[in-house]
Structure 1
């Protein structure tokens, strides 16, 4: 199949938490023989902060941050069998949504792929005339989501006739894997998270307050937006950490923390890319609590779970190197067995084949 994919960025993870997800899923689809073109706008300084060169398995198209360039890029969709518009592109999303689906050929499978379903649903549900709601009712043949489980699939299927299928995050063992420790990232607890309004208070609780109460421990905070944040002396701010350094960070710190945004934690079934990146490196993972964790990793054996900052303090205070290593190895074994992008791509391929056949049978 020819797949035209309109997303935030494939080549840069700068202010773009979906980069690893896109690379993993689409790279694995390309290995199955699909022809992928990824369209992304030159906005938010992403092109100045590339992590990778355009991959050889994908045609990469970067268009200027102008409406005219957007419409030219959207017009190229006419030759595609599968047309994907994701949430959170970051430039004229509503215009792009309308333009892409309008330009798609009559026989193309049109997909809305939501990489932030809890936030999207909370925005569109109270607005009867929201552009995404209109698209769901008249243009969308299939909804895919980054996560969310039953609460998300049921909500989307109330909004339009298209089926909704979660395609969860996973690990690409060629990208995220164990490496030797790196002194640059020596710490007791490391967290990679961009500074976002609905996650900052949770990071204050699960990470920064714990650092204040454990002054003899060392903490690393990576991600964009934290430069002007007041932190304890034992917290080192790393700024944006490129993908090439993720393995070293995950393999060096005693433990790696995942903190979901408030909406994703409440909705559940939303494992972040960081969870699989860290597990793929054999890191000892600690996560905030959310429904559905045990669908991916077994709590207490393959991942540790904290309900709040006091839980985090207790877990970290009692964590030894041998136990951390044991948890990390169990997590690594689990994700390699069940949660690789190759497995996700096979699941997605089956869905695409079935929905495209259904679409063509209905048209005939």
Structure 2
């Protein structure tokens, strides 16, 4: 049996899911690691926005500690140097300074987990180095990426990553499952407001809602501006904590997946919402992007819509037997390959291929 690993993860947030998809991604992964005997210390910057909206104060699957500024990471030097691997996540506040400071501590294995890879690459191409600098990409022993496929090649060839591993989002199947609740909405969507997603949301949910006044729709997520023209039959829930996600999905006849523009362009970037909805036995209607078929084959495990007409047709013409067959196929795929435990095994296997080193890391000027 392999020896359990000790990990330090420095991420955007574990304690609060408000306005970000990182928390639920980390929760599923770290819970999977704990169930396999590994130990994790999660370090989170204590910022007011998340402090005021915490929905997980004391996780039972890892240690969670907060730090006030980059200098405070020195308090964790023994843990960082003693861990089998240290992983810095994307969108960490003052990420460039965090990466430099941790690199200088010379961890045994130093990795980056990008839960926003296409966005990161687009930013770096523009010279935007808010949370990682281009010069820092080659510092990591492994660059773990939310996206797979051609994105991995780009990370190595264009940005100098030593090695890039796919580490997609996942779902905790003990918290997302079929509850057999009564259906309340014909189509729903879970996601914070995003300017680049909004036109797609309007095309694939708002317009079908206007054309189907007898059906019920819902959007759950924060950040939507006052000027959004909600159709009368679209309910808006400003924030839905993770504990309520399971009921939210189970009460939908279909759920909608809308993908960020950078991720559509890159492909191979499945949202955690896809896996959560599928685990709940709710069939998904998704926008189209490269690589989707590798996770959920179109027509077999997912319905793909390009236009408002496509959505209206699915909501009015797709038979119940076909709807349920799509849901069953997607759920089986998720339970087989996309749980937190499955992703934890992938992470640990990749980490074990990296040779531990304490050699000095030279920061490229």
Does 339-348 or 254-263 show the bigger shift? 339-348
Which residue of structure 1 aligns with residue 207 of structure 2?
209
Q: Deviations over 1:72-123 (max 9, x none)?
A: 457852332211111112x222222222222233xx1110111111111011
Which residue of structure 1 aligns with residue 134 of structure 2?
133
Which residue of structure 1 aligns with residue 243 of structure 2?
244
Which residue of structure 2 aligns with residue 142 of structure 1?
142
* Contact 1:13/1:20 (<8 A) preserved: yes
* Contact 1:87/1:115 (<8 A) preserved: yes
Q: Distance in 1 between matches of 2:354 and 2:81?
A: 19
* Contact 2:32/2:340 (<8 A) preserved: yes
Q: Distance in 1 between matches of 2:276 and 2:111?
A: 26
Write out aligned runs for 1:146-165 (5 A): 146-147=146-147, 149-158=148-157, 159-165=159-165
Which residue of structure 1 aligns with residue 88 of structure 2?
85
Residue 218 (structure 2) pairs with residue 220 (structure 1):
yes
Write out aligned runs for 1:95-134 (5 A): 95-105=97-107, 108-127=108-127, 132-134=133-135
Write out aligned runs for 1:1-364 (5 A): 1-43=5-47, 45-64=49-68, 66-69=69-72, 72=75, 77-89=80-92, 91-105=93-107, 108-127=108-127, 132-137=133-138, 139-147=139-147, 149-158=148-157, 159-181=159-181, 186-226=184-224, 228=226, 229-356=228-355, 359=357
* Contact 2:280/2:331 (<8 A) preserved: yes
Q: Distance in 1 between matches of 2:128 and 2:190?
A: 37
Deviation, 1:222, is: 0.2
* Contact 2:209/2:215 (<8 A) preserved: yes
Partner of 2:171, secondary structure, is coil
* Contact 1:2/1:82 (<8 A) preserved: yes
Partner of 1:225, secondary structure, is coil
Partner of 1:254, secondary structure, is strand
Q: TM-score, normalised by structure 1?
A: 0.90
Q: Distance in 1 between matches of 2:105 and 2:299?
A: 50
Q: Distance in 2 between matches of 1:14 and 1:75?
A: 31
Q: Deviations over 1:201-238 (max 9, x none)?
A: 22122222222222222110001112622211011101
Q: Distance in 2 between matches of 1:199 and 1:267?
A: 15
Q: Distance in 2 between matches of 1:29 and 1:339?
A: 14
Q: Deviations over 1:224-280 (max 9, x none)?
A: 112622211011101111111111111111101110111111211111000000000
Q: Distance in 2 between matches of 1:123 and 1:44?
A: 25
* Contact 2:106/2:358 (<8 A) preserved: no
Q: Distance in 2 between matches of 1:58 and 1:309?
A: 44
Q: TM-score, normalised by structure 2?
A: 0.90
Q: Which has the higher relative contact order, 1 or 2, with Cα contacts under 8 A spaced 6 or more apart?
A: 2
* Contact 1:256/1:285 (<8 A) preserved: yes
Does 324-333 or 229-238 show the bigger shift? 324-333
Distance change (3 Å), C-alpha of 1:317 and 1:266: farther
Q: Distance in 2 between matches of 1:3 and 1:259?
A: 33
Aligned length: 354
Runs of 4+ in 1 over 6 A off after TM superposition: none
Please state which structure has a larger fraction of its residues in helix: 1
Partner of 2:206, secondary structure, is helix
Q: Distance in 1 between matches of 2:250 and 2:63?
A: 32
Q: Distance in 2 between matches of 1:310 and 1:265?
A: 21
Distance change (3 Å), C-alpha of 1:128 and 1:284: closer
Taking only aligned residues, the RMSD between alpha carbons, in angstroms, comes to: 2.4
Does 198-207 or 2-11 show the bigger shift? 198-207
